Copies of this chain bind each other. A is one copy, B any other.
């Protein structure tokens, strides 16, 4: 139940519309993270107002609490969380990686080769610890971080859980490898993930709801031949779209290479989602390589600690607790139409964060998500108008080096 219409292209970048039963998604699009069936600090009507197109919740977290049966009995995730728009669920593969190899290796999606590089959004550095996960051919054993209970995911159970949740776009169980895994491990994990993908497609044909669509996930770490192999394999299965997951290498540059190895091997006519990436610069670099949708905790997570996304500040970030904002009565951003910027000053936001008032999180999250929606709208119209390269240069200070 998914239709994807490409309206315009600029090189590999595309703008179009994904149509699913809960409404259209104009692409390139940002999926707002609502891990536990809630976008932290906001209500669904605030999301509608600021222009949120799609929310991505998480199978792993919702399985642990409140459990898929509670949500199914409520009438599904849309009804449970009061969101009638497009909804995705991630499979939980990444969370299992986080608590498994990611934890052992002390890394996230991208392992920084620059030890002093700041951790922006929690992707780069983690404190190592003992793995809570065991992967076998049939599935994954893990321990609940909530109560220590032993749990098991298989490709089939993850589809069954997501069928109960009822999101519009769902994802199969995959094994995310670590950027520090060697090629042999990554190869074996990839082969297993491919076998799981076949089982997921089969399970989806039995359990999937008619309004749901299953996307495949391309893995392969930062190895060119493995990414190509994975794209070739996954796109021959009956998926409605594709997600690019797992380790994206040891640097942002390797991430660009991963996209360049993967995307040309995916079919033009189906949407492509880049899992867990959403910094401004990364979005431009990914869109120009052919990515259609994104999800990332950065806009919401940083909002809650007082980091506001703005277009003209160093690195697009304003740390509102900085004392220079004490008596700055301007809005966070001039010309931003969001509720926060229309009604409150930097001085007020700074005060709310300094005083640890919960409303601070609300107002900052509204702004950051509105920022993301406005950015994506600019990207869409720049692609349509043949002005993407200019827009990218204006936002990032650089061109991609890719031909249009």
Q: Which of A38, A339, A345 counts the most B-chain CB atoms under 10 A from its CB?
A: A38
Q: How far is the CB of A32 from chain B (nearest CB, A)?
A: 13
A36 pairs with B355, CB closer than 8 A = yes
- Interface positions, chain A 44-92, Cβ under 8 Å from B, are 44-45, 65-66, 70, 73-75, 80-82
Asked if B74 contacts A359 (CB within 8 A), the reply is no
A359 to B80, CA, bound (A): 14
A264 to B315, CA, bound (A): 65
Assess the B339–A80 pair: CB atoms within 8 A.
no
Q: Decide: A339 near B73, CB < 8 A? Known: A66-B351, A80-B348.
A: no
A326 within 8 Å of B by Cβ?
yes
**Which residues of chain B come closer than 8 Å to A267, judged between CB atoms?**
none
Q: When the two chains form their complex, are residues B339 and A81 in contact, meaning their CB atoms are under 8 A apart?
A: no
Tell me if B355 and A74 are in contact (CB < 8 A). no
A41:B359 contact, CB within 8 angstroms? yes
Contact present for B352 and A38 (CB under 8 Å): yes
Q: How many copies does the complex hold?
A: 2
A213 to chain B, nearest CB (A): 25
* Residue of A45, A344, A351 with most partner-chain B CB within 10 A: A351
Asked if A44 and B82 make an inter-chain contact with CB atoms under 8 angstroms apart, the answer reads: no
A354–B65 CB distance below 8 A: yes
Give chain B nearest CB distance to A92 CB in angstroms: 16
Docked Cα-Cα span, A151 to B167, in Å, equals 56
CA of A82 to CA of B80, assembled, Å: 32
Complex interface: chain B residues within 8 A of A38 (CB)? 352, 355, 357, 359-360
A351 pairs with B65, CB closer than 8 A: yes
Nearest B residue to A363, CB-CB: B43
Given A39-B359, A65-B354, A70-B326, 12 more A-B residue pairs with CB atoms under 8 Å apart are A42-B362, A43-B362, A44-B343, A65-B355, A74-B345, A74-B347, A74-B348, A75-B329, A80-B347, A82-B348, A304-B358, A358-B361
Chain A interface residues toward B at CB < 8 A: 36-45, 65-66, 70, 73-75, 80-82, 304, 326-327, 329, 339, 343-345, 347-348, 350-352, 354-355, 357-363
Q: 9 interchain pairs (CB within 8 A)?
A: A38-B357, A66-B326, A66-B354, A70-B326, A74-B345, A74-B347, A75-B329, A80-B347, A358-B362
